Amino acid sequence: MNITILPYRATLEQACDWLEGQTGSPWTLARLIEHGVTPYVWLDYDAAWPDLFGDANGGYAAPIFYEGDTARLAAGSEDVLITMTKDAYKIVTRLPEPGFRRALHELRFLKKELEKLVKTLKRAAEPPPAPKAAAESTAGIYKEQVVAAFGGLAKLDLDKALTGGGGIFGDDGARIKASTKKAKSKIVWNPVVLALGLHDVYGVPLRGLKRAFQAHDFLDPWHDEWERSLRLLGH
């Protein structure tokens, strides 16, 4: 048998056959239960248990989820014993002792649960995605952003200094060397390294640099790194 289209409520044989076709490996009742698929059995209306059926006078599909009941099935029981289920209103209820017995061939499995299981298994089998290269915006900030954040703090032409690329503004300082292989407009600088350099080399007060990191959203990715640097410096 090769099931390609599942019925709304599949038998055990249909469920296992369909899953094997989808996953390429054999399935059993025990494996279904191990993967959290809920078995159901149809309970025909019984006037002896009015609270169980309520208005479902034709009967309803009762789930088997109690650990003792499912463990018995997984262990290879020859029949189904249900000691706890949900009533027709989906309220958990314990059945009268010793519980209800049904034949194994009466077990049913919901199509939507089986399809969800396959999606989960296929997703788990996929190789992890390759790590994405860091976006330029997280590697550093552009010259215009450097000037906007720190331009009013240092007593120098920051635009000219960045273009010149000397000292703290070059590859041995805050400039991201890899970005220099791109167009000039794509060159970026690490704002934390640059801010510390402005403080050490040009005497820019830390309070002004702190305000800059608080005032500009484009510096948010470096906020934690900036705070760690200040703590290491005892500030």
Token look-up 């109690």 returns: 66
The secondary structure element, H or E, covering residue 113 is helix 111-125
* Closest residue by Cα to residue 94 from 44, 33, 46, 52: 52
- Per DSSP, the three-state class of 215 is helix
For 85-112, write each residue's pLDDT tens digit: 999 999 999 998 899 999 999 999 999 9
How many residues would you count in the chain? 235
Q: Of the ranges 2-16, 34-48, 172-186, which is most confident?
A: 34-48
* Closest residue by Cα to residue 11 from 109, 101, 79: 109
Report the distance separating Cα 51 and Cα 93, nearest Å. Answer: 10
Predicted model pTM: 0.55
DSSP 58: T
pLDDT of residue 27: 95
Mean pLDDT on 104-132: 85
Give me the residues paired with residue 175 across strands: 189
**What are the angstrom distances between the C-alpha of 143 and each of 137, 179, 184?**
12, 12, 9
Give me the residues paired with residue 40 across strands: 63, 108
DSSP 167: G
The secondary structure element, H or E, covering residue 40 is strand 39-43
pLDDT of residue 179: 81
Measured from the Cβ of residue 204, the count of other Cβ atoms closer than 10 Å reads 20
Q: Is 164 exposed, middle or buried (0-12, 13-18, 19+ CB in 10 A)?
A: exposed
- Per DSSP, the three-state class of 60 is strand
Report the distance separating Cα 79 and Cα 69, nearest Å. Answer: 11
Report the distance separating Cα 98 and Cα 84, nearest Å. Answer: 10
Report the distance separating Cα 102 and Cα 105, nearest Å. Answer: 8
Specify the pairing of strand 79-82 against strand 100-103: antiparallel
Q: Residue 98, preceding bond cis, omega within 30 degrees?
A: yes
For 139-187, write each residue's pLDDT tens digit: 789 999 999 989 878 788 888 888 888 888 888 888 988 888 888 888 9
- Per DSSP, the three-state class of 75 is coil
